[in-house]
Copies of this chain bind each other. A is one copy, B any other.
Amino acid sequence: MGKIASFELTQEYLDSILEAIENQHADFIRESLDSVRHEDISALLEEFNAEQSKYVLELLEKEVASDVIEDLDEDTRVKFLSIFSPEEISEFIEEIETDDAADILMDLPVKVREEVIANIQNPEKSMNIIELLRYDEDCAGGLMAKELIKANHNWNVVQCIEEIRRQAEYVQKIYSVYVVDDQNKLLGRVSLKDIVLAKSSTKIADIYSEKIISVYTYQKEEEIADLMQKYDLESAPVINVQGKLVGRITVDDIIDVITELADQERNLMAGISEDVEVNDSVWMLSRARLPWLVIGLIGGLVGARFIGVFQKDLEQVASLAFFIPLIIATGGNVGIQSSALVVQSLASVSIFESSIWQKLIKTLLVAMLNGIILAGLVYIFVFFLYGPKLSFVVGVALFTVVMLASTLGTFIPIFLNKVGFNPALASGPFITTTIDLIGLAVYFTVAHILYSF
């Protein structure tokens, strides 16, 4: 039976390869990597330095080495490729599908990029890569590959299979054959299954389906991900404004987009302002975390000035200070909950504006219910421990804060979304800092008024 199970990368295995590199045991390395998938070799290489990786990559077949390079983490790849010559890099690029090739080239210094492109032997490939390089990374043009199978609607099935045979080397995975007219305008698609089942003489025009979802080169990755997820597509043809077929996006790229967007959202919610990973440098990690911490700090200093205004009340009733954490923590928690729910509903394509309003009213009803329950609980506790006056102050302030936090937590992400920011920004330190200040204002104002009587 074949290698069914997934490959496990162990420390021993890693050590054995490192030792073999040290001692230049080329045959040992070649042999032990022979049965390993290229994705796993990439994972292994993440533990090596550039020289060690270069040694290993040169032992592999060009095709495998190219797959390995394509699968490396971006940062690692840039580091590794820096010790290869442009000629060497272009040899790898020849083997890599155009979308990934363009992504790899985008990360290289401009001069190296130009030299690599100049060294590509296949003129069609270099032309295709140059075309892809001009698209933004986060739109359909930046996601698509030029490799695809297309058939003229006047062909028959045999001609179509001939085309598949001709392109088989370049197109790793064929999901559909796209059907175009003489002007390369997209007409529809035929699934491979239909081709397998059709008679040789059948005309493509008779079996292709017009029910096809295509995307324009300029469409944003979020939109494409939504579309492909909604309609369960494993690939989508990309057309230009004239309706001409220019590329194809496959589901594996869309899965990466979905994961990236989720990572981005997590970072926003956690107040991390750059796209960092744990294995970035201390300085990069620190820099990514500082902006929101400093903003929070400024919020804290403003809060300090603000509480200072009520110094007299505090000196009279020191126990007022006891409930500062409770008020601002609850405000923060409520704000984040509200915004997270709105972010979720914004992500799932909402159809009717009217239903958004219904949702807002509901959010406020939920806030009121929770506000009453929480304020009630606190009132009872504080009543028995600190007496009626303070319990009234804390209860009223808490209810007000819950209502305000819910409202802001609901409206801020909707507003951010409208003006073109990622609404998840509102589920992070942004909202907690805002609500901290509002919570303090409400609490001390309520206290000041009630203690004045």
Contacts and interface: CB of A to CB of B under 8 A. Distances in A.
Contact of A359 (B168, B278, B374, B427): B278
Contacts of A307: 321-322, 325
20 contacts: A2-B187, A3-B210, A4-B212, A6-B213, A47-B351, A173-B191, A192-B196, A258-B259, A269-B270, A278-B342, A279-B355, A286-B370, A289-B370, A297-B378, A300-B329, A308-B319, A325-B328, A329-B432, A329-B433, A333-B432
A395 to B, nearest CB: 12
A240 to B, nearest CB: 12
B4 A243 contact: yes
Given A252-B232, A279-B359, A193 B174 contact: yes
A23 interface: no
A47 B197 CA distance: 40
Nearest to A266: B340
A332 B290 contact: no
Given A321-B307, A373-B290, A341 B1 contact: no
B271 A333 contact: yes
B351 A326 contact: no
Nearest to A292: B333
B196 A337 contact: no
Interface stretch (A25-33, A79-87, A223-231): A223-231
A201 interface: no
A344 B39 contact: no
Contacts of A168: 193, 197
A170 to B, nearest CB: 12
B328 A328 contact: yes
A255 interface: yes
A251 B234 contact: yes
Contacts of A188: 2
Interface in A1-49: 1-4, 6, 9, 11, 14, 37, 39, 43, 47
A9 B363 CA distance: 25
Contacts of A325: 299-300, 303-304, 307, 324-325, 328, 436, 440
Contacts of A453: none
A105 interface: no
Contact of A341 (B228, B272, B321): B272
Interface in A360-419: 362-363, 365-366, 369-370, 373-374, 377-378, 381-382, 385
A277 interface: yes
Interface stretch (A54-62, A120-128, A310-318): A310-318
Contacts of A106: none
A341 B196 contact: no
B165 A197 contact: yes
A297 B285 contact: no
A330 interface: yes
Contacts of A337: 270-272, 289, 292-293
Contacts of A374: 293-294, 297
A311 B321 CA distance: 9
Q: Which 4 A-B pairs have the closest CB atoms?
A: A2-B210, A300-B326, A270-B340, A321-B321
A164 interface: yes
Interface string A68-90: 00000000000000000000000
